[in-house]
Amino acid sequence: MDGSGEAARAPVPYRRSAMEPLEPEPLRADVAVVGAGAAGLYAALTAADEGARVALVSRSPLAQTASFWAQGGIAAALAEDDAPELHAADTVAAARDAARESAVRVLCEESPGRVRDLERLGVRFDADRRGNLALGLEGGHSRRRIVHAGGAATGRRITRELSALAAVHGRIEVLEPAAAEELLCQEGRCVGLVARRRGGERQAVLARAVILATGGMAALWERTTNPRGAVGAGLSLAVAAGAELADLEFMQFHPTALRLDGPHDGFLITEAVRGEGATLLNADGDRFVDELAPRDQVALAIDDELARTGKRAVGLDMSMVDLERFPNIAAALGEIGLDPGREPLPVAPAAHYTMGGVASGLEGRSSLPGLYAVGESACTGLHGANRLASNSLAECFVFGRRAALAAAADPPPPRDAPSAAGRELEAPGEPTRAALWRHAGLRRDPDGLRELLADPHPLARVIAATCLAREESRGAHQRTDAPETDPALDGMHTLVGAGAEPRFERWT
Ligand SMILES: Cc1cc2nc3c(=O)[nH]c(=O)nc-3n(C[C@H](O)[C@H](O)[C@H](O)COP(=O)(O)OP(=O)(O)OC[C@H]3O[C@@H](n4cnc5c(N)ncnc54)[C@H](O)[C@@H]3O)c2cc1C
């Protein structure tokens, strides 16, 4: 622990607003799902297919989910020369001795079944000439095991299909646009939520359980591959209601995000192009890293090159890649006016994936009864300190299903809504995003992190507290004052609740 005492306590990420009345009638459901990305849609459909009445609350249109933008695919041991054990070994190796092995086992064993479920639901994955699933290779995977749809349009195809099913499902009521602002609790249980609807009204939803599927928080960092709404809203809701968060210091930086001025900065060039032969070149035109090494290694190697040369970007040479295999990347580059056949693309790391989140078990249960978290908002410990490419969509479906089944079996909610405290989620300002990039980026030092403890955004302060607590370098980040990995912290996860100091716990 950092030992900075009071300063490192995690604040409650809420501002109290004047008490506003709720709509007179609460909406009643068995399961309330917050978020309509891959995890939320799949959890909602699973619960509804099991007979539960579902309220699906989504703040934004589909194109603003990270799921919509997912380019690579879903990792699943489906090839004849593959097995869940091999997938698990790759996941554990990438996670830098910090993966929760039980979560890894669940993911790798159940992911093939979820791919087959998605096919049954109507998702058409890319096939080879013989009609078998075409399996791609990505960094850190020892086998071809990445399932794609429409080349690099996997997320778009899946969310389109699942949202169409949710929209017409007789047991799913969709509240959109509606932002969950507060969780409702009674006698130590989460029994629902308050959502602010389009016209500003505050609607209570009472349910057996609430499943948070609100995505990650990478857009709290200045340079990011994520949509702007990915600011950890679910984490803020959970910690304010009394649930614990875990591993917030583990932010993954994607190595190859376009480095441009203007709105296309951060556009992600999938790892799959490196799987197909694209190379990374430094300022002298030389290769400097194994392009298929796990993400943390590649990102840190690029960061070293940038520090050494003072440049803003390295080059991604895609001249040998068949762009027809990546039609939406080709289209996006065409729109921006970049021709990867003629010159290497300027790329640099950007905040990409939240390995931490709401601390949750193998059924998605948080530390607050009645509250579940799935997808990128959750932290089961599966990814440890470095997520393996394409394991996150797999996680959305594997743990989305498990949480949906568990939540639907929880006890019924009370008849009347408990009183709501009247709270408002705070939006991060640009200075907060710049400060997180500067002080909690790939390289961190304790002075910068202490400065971050005074940031106006409460979640930034919680992140600073957990970053300070982990006095070592592991996976995605390097501490300049502690450049080595501390074996005493192998398998240890950082837990933090509102008003408490971060503590470590071993998860198996
Ligand atoms: C560019 C890019 C490419 C990627 N490629 C891949 C890949 O190829 N393979 C892979 O496995 N992973 C990939 N990832 C990661 C993966 O896409 C995400 O981890 C995953 O899609 C997260 O899904 P989710 O359902 O948890 O969250 P999201 O898809 O982000 O959805 C979050 C939902 O929550 C809603 N929401 C948030 N706050 C509130 C609130 N307060 N009230 C109501 N609703 C709220 C949002 O509106 C949204 O509907 C990629 C990510 C990015 C950004």
What digits encode the pLDDT tens for the residues 83-130? 999 999 999 999 999 999 999 999 999 999 999 999 999 999 999 999
Print the SS3 string covering 77-92. Answer: CCCCCCCHHHHHHHHH
140 or 117, which is more confident?
A: 117
The label of the residue with tokens 């001249």 reads 319
Q: Are 466 and 453 in contact (CB under 8 A)?
A: no
Is 366 a pocket residue for ligand 1 (Cβ < 6 Å)? Answer: no
Question: For a pLDDT cut of 70, what percent of the chain falls above it?
Answer: 95
Enter the tokens of residue 49: 């297919």
pLDDT value of residue 13: 62
pLDDT at site 6: 38
Look at the alpha carbons of 471, 305, 219, 461 in this order and tell me if their dihedral is positive or negative.
Answer: positive
The rounded Å distance from CA 320 to ligand 1 centre is 31
The finding on whether 428 has its CB within 6 A of some atom of ligand 1 is no
Ligand 1 within 6 A of CB of 158: no
- Residue 94's pLDDT is what? 93
pLDDT at 16 (0 to 100)? 57
Q: Tell me: pLDDT of 198 over 50.
A: yes
3-state SS class at 325: helix
pLDDT of residue 471: 96
| Contact by Cβ (8 Å): 399, 43 | no
Residue 135: pLDDT over 80: yes
What residue owns the CA closest to ligand 1's atom 27? 215
Helix 38-49 and helix 154-168: axis angle, to 10°?
A: 40
Q: In the annotation, is 287 catalytic?
A: no
For residue 23, pLDDT over 80 is answered with no
Instruction: Specify burial of residue 187 (Cβ count, 10 A radius: 0-12, 13-18, 19+).
Output: exposed
Res 19 pLDDT > 70: no
Atom of ligand 1 nearest to the CA of 393: 11
What's the order of all strands across the beta sheet hosting 492-496? 378-379, 357-359, 245-246, 492-496, 503-506
Specify the pLDDT at position 468. Answer: 97
Q: What is the pLDDT of residue 10?
A: 63
Instruction: Give the pair of three-digit tokens for residue 69.
Output: 């933008």
> Of 59, 96, 274, 295, which residue is the catalytic one?
295
Q: What was the pLDDT predicted at 432? A: 97
Q: Does pTM surpass 0.75?
A: yes
Helix residue spans in 16-100 (DSSP H): 38-49, 66-69, 84-94
- In contact, 40 and 33? CB cutoff 8 Å: yes
Closest ligand 1 atom to 425 CA: 41
Residue nearest atom 8 of ligand 1, based on CA coordinates: 72
| C-beta separation of 227 from 211 below 8 A | no
Which residue out of 41, 46, 225, 393 has the highest number of ligand 1 atoms within 8 Å of its CB and is therefore the one to mutate?
Answer: 393
Residues 361-391: pLDDT tens digits?
999 999 999 999 999 999 999 999 999 989 9
pLDDT value, residue 379: 98
Displacement of CA 498 from its chain's centroid (Å): 21
Could you identify the atom of ligand 1 that is nearest to the CA of residue 72?
A: 8
Pocket of ligand 1 contains residue 378 by CB under 6 Å? no
Integer CA distances (angstroms), 399 to 168, 363, 393, 395, 508, in order: 23, 7, 10, 6, 17
Pocket test for ligand 1, best of 376, 399, 423 (most atoms within 8 A of CB): 376
Phi/psi at 491 (nearest 5 deg)? Answer: 70, 5
Rounded to a whole number, what is the distance in angstroms from the first to the last CA of the chain?
21
- Residue 38, pLDDT > 80, answer yes
pLDDT grade for 325, boundaries at 50, 70 and 90 = confident
pLDDT score of 4: 41
Helices (H), 310-457: 327-336, 391-408, 430-439, 446-452
Distance 150 CA to ligand 1 centre (A): 19
**Mean pLDDT, residues 471-488:** 95
Q: Answer yes or no: are the C-beta atoms of 475 and 440 closer than 8 Å.
A: no
Residue 303 phi, psi dihedral angles, 5° rounding:
-60, -40
Query: Do residues 201 and 179 make contact, with C-beta atoms less than 8 angstroms apart?
Result: no
- Check pocket membership of 395 for ligand 1, CB cut-off 6 A: no
For residue 413, report the distance from its CA to the centre of ligand 1, in Å: 28
What is the identity of the amino acid at 161? E
Question: Ligand 1 atom 46: the closest Cα is on which residue?
Answer: 35
- For residue 15, the model assigns a pLDDT of 59
Write down the pLDDT at residue 294: 81
| C-alpha 20 – ligand 1 centre gap (Å) | 30
- CB-ligand 1 contact for 151 (6 Å cutoff): no
Distance 62 CA to ligand 1 centre (A): 10
For the beta carbon of residue 433, count every other beta carbon within 10 angstroms: 21
| Residue with CA closest to ligand 1 atom 3 | 70
Does ligand 1 lie within 6 Å of residue 375's CB atom? Answer: yes
Q: Is the CB of 494 under 6 A from ligand 1?
A: no
- Are the CB atoms for 450 and 431 separated by under 8 Å? no
User: In this predicted structure, what is the pLDDT of residue 145?
Assistant: 96
Collapsing DSSP states into helix, strand and coil, what is residue 506?
A: strand
Q: What is the pLDDT of residue 18?
A: 57
- Segment among 8-12, 158-162, 352-356, 480-484 with least mean pLDDT: 8-12
Confidence of residue 25 (pLDDT cuts 50, 70, 90): confident
| pLDDT on residue 5 | 39
Mean of pLDDT over the chain: 92
Q: Which of 191, 182, 293 is nearest to 240 (CA)?
A: 182
Cα 66 to ligand 1 centroid, rounded to whole Å: 3
Task: Report the relative pairing of strands 314-317 and 279-281 from DSSP bridges.
Answer: antiparallel
What is the position in ligand 1's atom list of the atom closest to the CA of 152?
Answer: 8
- Say which residue, 278 or 72, is predicted with more confidence: 278
Q: Are the beta carbons of 373 and 356 closer than 8 angstroms? A: no
> 3 or 303, which is more confident?
303
- Tokens 């068995």 correspond to 30
